Amino acid sequence: MRLLKIITRDAATGPVLEITGELGYANAAELRDLLTTLTLQPGQRLVLDLAGMDFCGSNGVTALIAARNLAHAARADIALAAVPARTLRVLNVVGLDQIFPVLPDSHAATQP
């Protein structure tokens, strides 16, 4: 088990959150809290880079939805990048693959 680590960086298209470790019950609030500190402008894209994520539980999925809601409230876009196969399976089962753009990596997600 790896602890949750979130690195925030800016790209030309907007903020990128690199999420590594486990996003579950014990720590999903960390992502939700970090989201409240972001300033998104209309037309920007919030990218959640999940390449290093080991696990995403139901609370993690709820945090991803909170990120989507934040982006849409700011009239910004959101994209998930490098989604691990297990997490992608979960998103497919609950239908969230229909509301989240899923891109192969953060480079692709940050192209204008």
Cα separations in angstroms, 89 against 10, 12, 16, 61, 99 = 28, 30, 23, 12, 14
Q: Which two tokens stand for residue 96?
A: 């969230």
pLDDT tens column, 11-26: 999 999 999 999 999 9
What is the model's pLDDT at position 109?
A: 95
In the chain, the number of structural domains is: 1
Residue 107 has pLDDT above 80, yes or no: yes
pTM: 0.95
Per DSSP, 82 falls in state S
pLDDT tens column, 31-87: 999 999 999 999 999 999 999 999 999 999 999 999 999 999 999 999 999 999 999
CATH of the domain at 56: 3.30.750.24
Handedness of CA 88, 91, 97, 101 (dihedral sign): negative
Handedness of CA 21, 3, 97, 112 (dihedral sign): negative
Domain that includes residue 16, residue range = 5-109
> Which pLDDT band holds residue 2 (cuts at 50, 70, 90)?
confident
